[in-house]
Amino acid sequence: MTSNPRKVLIGSILLVVTFVSVSYTLVTPKYKNIFGAEISSFTHDIVNGEKVFYASGCNSCHLDSDKSKPPLLLAGGLPLTTNFGTFYSPNISPDKENGIGKWGINEFANAVRNGISPNGSHYFPSFPYNSYQKMADQDLIDLFHFIMSLKPSGKVNKPHALNFPFSFRISLGIWKHLYFYPNKMISNTPTRGEYLVETLAHCAECHTPRTRLGGLNMEKHLSGAKTLKNEGGAPNITPHETGIKNWTELDVFNYLETGFTPDFDSAGGQMVSVISNLAKLPKEDLEEIAKYIKSVKPIASN
Ligand code: HEC
Ligand code: HEC
């Protein structure tokens, strides 16, 4: 049987159209209003917002690169060097022109939980929204009001200096399909320790190894990673022999509270700012983090 050329042509066109539209749907960001009218039923608590802010380490990346003295100024401009190039953190102070002062809760929620900007493009995962995706509604609302209560800065954002072809935001749609949506490590009903470690404090962003495309390799969750730039890296913090099996829960707690290991070494590198942020949390939160860390699956260092 010979096939009808017209049918073949129509079939091919349909295939191409389907392919293009499926690809387009896969890569385009899905900005949606996360909060509707029910937002008016929420109250907000700036004191809790401040705790969420420090637990999540927003200041570690968004502080003003020109001055770190009080008052807390989220003017950004800090360079984050990676294998993909250098990212400069944006101004997230409540300035109406150059910060996020015009944003409402939905713009904020889409950015922090989904990595989608108000104009509908993807953010780079150097902004750890992958971890923040399960941030609780109330925490997100409190965090928003805390940030909006800070001093505005008119500092203009510095463009990222990324290597070709990573500068194309649309390709992040594919990245998100590979690494963002299937984040199965975070359960829907986490304990306090799990919520702090996996969501707010994003420990995995430094302690879990990454794939070549910069996604977290969840099979090796928390088992230690070289940083993307291969500088030093973060050690294995699972209870494996090659990790922190010999540390008691109290050892982990003490380390998070004081920065001293059981051998009286002191914490260095990027862990220093994590520890100074965690110092703003109640002791019970640090105990919960220690309890959870000692309960994760033991995995050998790679
Ligand atoms: C590890 C560094 C890092 C941490 C931690 C971090 N961010 Fe960011 N953030 C970035 C980078 C880099 C970008 C720019 C991403 C891009 O251009 O795609 C960004 C972008 C943003 C934006 C978008 C700003 C704009 O003008 O579009 C917001 C809002 C934001 N971050 C808020 C937060 C909040 C709130 C926290 C804490 C819960 C936080 N960030 C923690 C690095 C970080
Ligand atoms: C911004 C990156 C980063 C984040 C986020 C981070 N860490 Fe670390 N962590 C490090 C680095 C780097 C070291 C190594 C410190 C050193 O060299 O002294 C470290 C060391 C540690 C150690 C000591 C392990 C050892 O064998 O000495 C523990 C325990 C630890 N981190 C737990 C955590 C926990 C729990 C979290 C989340 C609450 C966390 N870290 C978040 C980068 C990070």
**Predicted model pTM:** 0.93
Report how far residue 203's alpha carbon sits from residue 265's, in angstroms, rounded to the nearest whole number: 20
Tell whether ligand 2 has an atom less than 6 A from the beta carbon of residue 225.
no
88 has which bridge partners?
A: 79
Cα 128 to ligand 1 centre (Å): 7
Tell whether ligand 1 has an atom less than 6 A from the beta carbon of residue 87.
yes
Tell whether ligand 1 has an atom less than 6 A from the beta carbon of residue 128.
yes
Tokens of 259: 């920065």
DSSP 260: B
Contacts with 262 (C-beta within 8 Å, 6 or more apart), sequence order: 246, 247, 248, 251, 254, 255
Query: What does the pLDDT read at residue 144?
Result: 98
Q: Minimal CA–CA distance to 129: which of 157, 103, 110?
A: 110
The DSSP secondary structure of 235-246, one letter per residue, reads ---SSSTTTTTT
CA angle, corner 192, sides to 113 and 258, nearest 5? Answer: 100
**Radius of gyration of the chain from its Cα atoms, rounded to whole angstroms:** 22
Q: Which residue positions in the chain have pLDDT lower than 50?
A: none
Query: What does the pLDDT read at residue 25?
Result: 67
Cα 106 to ligand 2 centre (Å): 32
Query: How many Cα atoms occupy the beta-carbon half-sphere of 5 within 13 Å?
Result: 0
Shortest-distance ligand to the CA of residue 223: 2
Query: What does the pLDDT read at residue 22?
Result: 66
Report how far residue 30's alpha carbon sits from residue 82's, in angstroms, rounded to the nearest whole number: 27
How many CB atoms lie under 10 A from the CB of residue 2?
4
